[in-house]
Homo-oligomer: A and B are copies of this chain.
Amino acid sequence: MFKHDKKLLREVKVEKPNPQYAAMLQEQLGGPNGELKAGLQYISQSFRIKDPAIKDLFLDIGSEELGHMEMVAETINLLNGHDLDVQNATVGQIETHVLGGLSPMLANASGEPWTANYVNVTGDLAADLLSNIAAEQRAKVVYEYLYRQINDQYVRETIDFLLNREEAHNALFREALNNIKDTASNRDFGVTEDSKLYFDLSTPGKHFDAPNPTPPSFDNPRGPSH
């Protein structure tokens, strides 16, 4: 079961209201690489997992992402300020001003509502972990884009925190993948000659050669944090 603590995972604040920044940050509340997607992806994946360590990891990180979602939502809330003012404020979605009464919304920066099409669940541990590693990297990239375009010191501090947490999750998912690397879709890894062909279909140019298929495994050295 889920419990809620009204304390945020980390306090957020803003220099001053800025509806444009609010619209941009919507991307990480309700966009394809945002916090709701991350939270629901990991929680959904956990539903059928039997491995207790991976299940716990997915639920730890999934719960944390819901807490990130709250932090992003509260930041948007503060940036939205107190006035409905669609005309001077927003590039991108305007639902905040005409539909939501300045509430943070489950939509991306252009107003596309969140959809479970963003969520990848296959019931296969190797595939799900790779999906999560990719998702964390994309989330990090979006935060970098936002960081560059948002000149509010406090919002940047929040973004920096969240970006660093994506790095942490990324490292953990890679470690988990290495732990299970001879199981799931990597088990019984038998490939035929078909997997060693290279079709050079775009011309001109040939830069890669016939591949040598192996199950994915990360070079993930455990260092001093242990």
Contact = CB atoms under 8 A, between A and B. Distances in A.
22 contacts: A2-B70, A6-B202, A6-B205, A30-B116, A40-B106, A45-B103, A48-B80, A48-B101, A64-B201, A89-B91, A93-B110, A97-B149, A99-B109, A99-B122, A99-B145, A109-B111, A113-B119, A114-B116, A117-B117, A167-B213, A171-B212, A212-B222
Interface string A1-33: 111111111000000000010011001001111
Interface string A61-81: 011101100100110110010
The quantity of this chain's copies bound in the complex is: 6
Contacts of A154: none
A66 B204 CA distance: 18
Which residue of A23, A63, A102, A224 has the most chain B CB atoms within 10 A of its CB atom? A63
B133 A4 contact: no
Interface string A184-209: 01000001101111111111111111
Contacts of A149: 84-87, 97-98
A208 B44 contact: no
A175 to B, nearest CB: 7
A209 B225 contact: yes
A48 to B, nearest CB: 4
Nearest to A85: B149
Interface in A114-172: 114-124, 126-127, 130-131, 133-134, 137-138, 140-142, 144-146, 148-149, 160-161, 164-165, 167-172
Contact of A87 (B20, B111, B201): B20
Contacts of A183: none
Q: Which 7 A-B pairs have the closest CB atoms?
A: A101-B123, A110-B111, A59-B202, A53-B207, A171-B211, A1-B67, A4-B202
Contacts of A105: 44, 116, 121
A57 B210 CA distance: 12
A46 B113 CA distance: 18
A102 B4 contact: no
Contact of A112 (B67, B112, B164, B196): B112
